[in-house]
Structure 1
Amino acid sequence: MPAQKGLTAAVLNAAKPGDKPFKLYDRDRLYVLVSVAGSKRWAWAYRLDGKDHTLQLGRYPDVSIIDARKARAAAAKHVEAGQHPGEVNKETIAAVKKEQANSFGPIAAEWIDANRKTWSPWYLQQVETFLTRYAINGDLGAMPIRAITVPDVVRMLKGVSEGKIRTGEERKKGSPTIAILLRQWCSAVFRYAILDGRADRNPVSDLKASDVIKRAPVKNNLALSPAEFRKLLTALPGYGGNRVTKIAIELLALFFVRTGELRQAEWKEFDFDARQWTVPAVRMKKKNVGDHIVPLSDQAVALLTELKAITGTVKTGRDWLFRNTRRPAECMSATTVNRALEGMGFNGSASIGFSAHGFRGTASTLLHEQGFKPEVIEVQLAHTEKNAVKKAYNKARYLTERVVLMQSWSDYVEALKLDIKTDSGEPATA
């Protein structure tokens, strides 16, 4: 009797030759004949015109289990029409191979090869590992790329995000970060296939990551209270991480810029005589606002001087302030600061959910409470003006007042860091 569930690769790979040939049955009279020499060949037993016949379908593993089943199904249609499938076998196998070549897995592998030389080794390893594990070797891999629908992609992304996909290793929880990357990479594979007509549309383009990938609740722009801010700053010296990472956290607290603007900063952007850091427009969230000036307070200059003695001596490549310790040609990873905050107990599960981006909300809230003009705060935050008349951005706008604001803010942060309190319990300000 043919096995109801069919053969598996594990069973076929483990099959050893015996003293005489034997058959391993799949289903629908499809089987593999194992010879005494150890070769394994697919065959299908069918009946036509009152007689039994056998159709050879190729050698395993050259013809996979999925391909053999497809070939058998195609051959069965010829038998139903009164034809011997052997007469059209070559055309059937060719059609199966053509369909396989247009399935998601081979096209995804092509896309990886096409980009292999342009990616860093670390990024290439990420793409190959996770795209192969969850998509190429998963359900999507064997599907014709034209047949893949939005629900097919959603099932895969949700499975990874929620930890419902098992790939040999058991996962206790999901991985939303990997799911987000998979969405990005799968979208790129569909676009690649569209270019030469192997796909008509990109189903991933209909999906936002937030539609299917649920992160643990995190308040990215959480505004810390003065007490919470003091707790973070006083805990920082005792954190066992790299000194450069600690400086990055302190500068984010002083500058309240976006993390990417600081991580990708280069020493050439700093004018210590003018006491200014000019963030190039290309690195701003709204690139049309132009360059952005960050006045340097006394505390910021002291931190930058210390940092330059550590990272400013590298003579090759980009002159990053924050060089990646594993990949010196690149800047600090996007996750480094948040991992440090997690290690300090301020980010991650069972914490208040404070991330690096939260320094912006903290500064905005507390500076407004301290009575600084809202328009000055907004310009220093590099928020664009919605009013079309005022939208043109001037990097020097309110610069004199912003110099005062940034020094006052640094004094406030220093008082928190040193745990200096007034009679009211709040930090002393200059």
Structure 2
Amino acid sequence: MPLTATAIKNAKPTDKDQKLYDQGGLYLMVRKSGTKTWKYGYWGANGKQGTYTIGDYPEISLQEAREAHLKARRLVGEGINPTEGKRQQAAKLAIQEKRFSDYCKEWIAKQNYARSTLGDLEQRLEKNIYSGLDKRPVDSYSTRDLLDILTPVAQRGAKETAKRMAGIMRQVFNDLLLLGLIDNNPAQGLAELLPKPDHRQKSNFGHITDKVDLKNLLTQIHNPSPRQSPITTAALKLMPLLFLRPYNIRHMKWDYIDFDTAMLTIPAEEMKSNRELKVPLAVQAIAILQEVREMNKPGPYVFITSHGHGKPMSENTTTAAIKRLINPNTNETYGTGFMTSHGFRHTASTFLNEMGYSPDAVELQLAHTNKDRVRATYNKAQLLDERIRMMQEWADYLENLRKT
């Protein structure tokens, strides 16, 4: 006969596990330890016996156990393993609660990105896709939805960024597909639907290779708008001197700088190459950094956001500042593909090689890891000495070019 609430409450443990049956395969397992657990025994579609654990008593009452048992029986009748059905239901609930950014961050955590790459990637994801993709559960998006999110990114000129975002979407959605959280990958083939980058351009990054153009740009940087933050101006002044990746400028810390030896040492985890980089600081660079130190509030970062909180300057700050500068030769802004914050690296490489400096020293200072260029036969100490001289002479060249 069916169980009663009183019988369940009064059931005592014995020296053996015992089953108290209710109806339709539902029973209460009373273990020797005193634990009481609701279970459902059934025969599956494959002819094999199965057991579905509903949960413990008294957390689950008799009435609740019967309701769960009824749902499980329906699944068995449809040929579905109720345990698997329970997992799928939990997954569906998780989908309703979690958003694309949650899954994307989990995917990123499994990748072996350098910290510098990771920082820039997270900023691009925040700026370009999280807001658009976090509005609905991940199983509700179509390829058309994703295309509507990325097309504006490509149309504003960031076609390579849009393509990269499409690639990340594809990999994240593919993981969700393999986990059974979605039925298809809406990002499959998405990159092919985006406007194609113009590979006829000389570089992915606008940069200057003409002396007159470089002089004009330096003049503009050293004569900023009164509305521009002095910290932003200092960052722009330092960029052509050090020709680091923009991330390494923005995330530079005071701890990395030795004013006594005039050396900036960027740790390996901050570098795209995953190798420590020593950057000799010319007297002009030291002067800029000392000015910033006097302007800044105490904190780890050299170039902080204007909003306070001690956070590093955003990527948009330097990019927007360059875009506002006017190229007197074309009367257009430098942001129209003529120059970018990353372009200083290309510019320095072009000029330094033309000025006769060792290609190996230039490549090392750019933190490139091309083994054919940076040969192991070179003595590293000699290369550093050459780079110290090169960085000071480069700073002198830029200063003289601007002032003449």
Please indicate the TM-score interval, normalised by the length of the shorter structure. 0.5 to 0.7
Q: Of residues 368, 373, 390 in structure 2, which corresponds to 1:405?
A: 390
Change (3 A) 1:382 1:223: same
2:323 pairs with 1:338: no
Q: Give distance in 1, aligned partners of 2:320 and 2:133.
A: 24
Aligned pairs for 1:312-323 within 5 A: 313-315=297-299, 319-323=300-304
Q: Of residues 371, 384, 391 in structure 1, which corresponds to 2:356?
A: 371
Give the deviation of 1:314 after TM superposition: 1.5
Q: Give distance in 1, aligned partners of 2:315 and 2:257.
A: 22
Amino acid in structure 2 at the alignment position of 1:276: M
Aligned to 1:268: 255
Aligned to 1:10: none
Deviates most, 189-198 or 349-358: 189-198
Q: Give distance in 1, aligned partners of 2:97 and 2:166.
A: 13
Give the deviation of 1:324 after TM superposition: 1.7
Q: Give distance in 1, aligned partners of 2:374 and 2:289.
A: 37
Q: Of residues 300, 305, 312 in structure 2, which corresponds to 1:324?
A: 305
CA contact (8 A) 1:233 1:417 kept: yes
Q: Of residues 276, 279, 288 in structure 1, which corresponds to 2:266?
A: 279
Q: Give distance in 2, aligned partners of 1:260 and 1:152.
A: 33
Give the deviation of 1:348 after TM superposition: 6.4
Change (3 A) 1:229 1:126: closer
Aligned to 2:366: 381
Aligned to 2:176: 193
SS in structure 2 at match of 1:398? helix
Aligned pairs for 1:203-242 within 5 A: 204=187, 212-214=194-196, 219-220=204-205, 222-240=207-225, 241-242=228-229
CA contact (8 A) 1:275 1:297 kept: yes
Normalization by structure 1: what TM-score?
0.56
CA contact (8 A) 1:297 1:407 kept: yes
Q: Give distance in 2, aligned partners of 1:252 and 1:309.
A: 19
Change (3 A) 1:373 1:205: farther
Change (3 A) 1:277 1:131: same
Aligned to 1:131: 133
Give the deviation of 1:261 after TM superposition: 1.2
Normalization by structure 2: what TM-score?
0.59
In structure 2, runs of 5+ residues without a counterpart are 1-77, 79-86, 110-118
Aligned to 2:399: 414
Q: Give distance in 2, aligned partners of 1:397 and 1:326.
A: 43
Q: Deviations over 1:238-266 (max 9, x none)?
A: 32211111111111110111111111110
Q: Give distance in 2, aligned partners of 1:341 and 1:377.
A: 24
Aligned length, in residue pairs: 300
Q: Give distance in 1, aligned partners of 2:269 and 2:353.
A: 28
Aligned to 2:295: 310
Deviates most, 299-308 or 197-206: 197-206
2:241 pairs with 1:254: yes
Q: Deviations over 1:110-166 (max 9, x none)?
A: 4557899x999x987986632256xx39xx8645xxxx6xx6576445544467xxx
In structure 1, runs of 5+ residues without a counterpart are 1-90, 92-97, 164-172, 421-430
Give the deviation of 1:182 after TM superposition: 6.2
Q: Give distance in 2, aligned partners of 1:392 and 1:336.
A: 41
Q: Deviations over 1:209-231 (max 9, x none)?
A: x8725468775152331100110
Change (3 A) 1:376 1:292: same
Change (3 A) 1:101 1:224: farther
Q: Give distance in 1, aligned partners of 2:165 and 2:346.
A: 30
Change (3 A) 1:230 1:410: same
CA contact (8 A) 2:205 2:337 kept: no
Aligned pairs for 1:35-50 within 5 A: none
SS in structure 1 at match of 2:222? helix
